[in-house]
Amino acid sequence: MQGLRLGTRGSPLALAQARKVAAAIETSQRWPDGWVQIVEIATTGDKVRDRPLAEIGGKGLWTKELERALLAGEVDFCVHSMKDVESVRPKETHIAAVRPRGDVRDRIIGAASLDELKQGAIIGTSSPRRKAQLLRLRPDLRIVNLRGNVETRLKAVQDGEIDATLLSSAGLKRLDLSEGTSIPTEVILPAPGQAVIGIECRSNDTRTQSVLTTVNNQITYQCVMAERAFTRALGASCASPVAAFCVLEDGDLRMRAQLFSEDGREMVEDRAVFDCGDVKTPAKLAQSLLAQAPESIRKLFAAE
């Protein structure tokens, strides 16, 4: 039996995640080390770093080259950070599995807490969600665009180009980095799909699907699919200041979600409780939030 080819971006974090998935599959299948071959694929999102993603094509810039290689048969499956995967996928591909969710919290780098940031501090981020959340909590902050891999963003703080930035706690842990302080989700709600590694293959490739399902975490899968149903109903993209987090508690899925205006001054929030596998309730939650949102928020979704 031939080994499988895993397609991934070439950033240090993407490669760390790919190696974790490859090792998990080899263990589950009792395959020797290296039976899953890691294939690095350059993406437009990695190549163009001087502009916000929304200006150059959105989240698809992280996935379109991986998707092309997958559909061309150059790789058997791809590994993604689920928060970077568009909520509408081609029918020819399938999210076959997800790994157990990591720490969903954002971590502040450059200060011990948001409250300890100096007045008018310069914060680097390319995330509309983080920008809106930061400005809502601290309207005095100056937000500047900062893209690049984790090391690039850490260096920007170390070199004094910016005062602070926010990074994913899970991503830092996967890179064995301990910088910064985690912010409670009650203060900053994460992005849909945050801290989850997803595995995508061709919809008609039943052999690969059967292998991938052996490393799937069903609880995380149910939560992430609910979050994706929520963003799909919104029409949300990387240009949308959206936060949503779903957990399994007492046998039910419980979701908290927020929509923001770009400057963070306006925010609508709501919660929902529903059964596993129910994607209609998250969609209704999205529609309810849009219905009660002010124009400054609704206009962000009208054009998507």
CB-CB neighbours of 249 under 10 Å: 9
φ/ψ (deg, to 5) at 191: -75, 150
Helix, strand, coil percent content, the chain, rounded in steps of 5:
40, 25, 40
Of 237, 103, 114, nearest to 168 (Cα)? 103
CA–CA distance, 182 with 112 (Å, rounded to integer):
9
Using alpha carbons only, give the angle 59, 62, 63 rounded to the nearest 5 degrees: 95
Task: Please say whether the beta carbons of 53 and 238 come within 8 A.
Answer: yes
268 three-state secondary structure: strand
Exactly one of 84, 106, 163, 205 is catalytic; name it: 84
Residue type, 212: L
Positive or negative torsion for Cα 131, 84, 59, 269? negative
Nearest to 259 by CA among 248, 244, 247: 244
- Among the listed residues 132, 85, 124, the one whose alpha carbon sits nearest the alpha carbon of residue 232: 85
Under 8 Å between Cβ of 141 and 218: no
Does the annotation mark 84 as catalytic? yes
Positions marked catalytic: 84
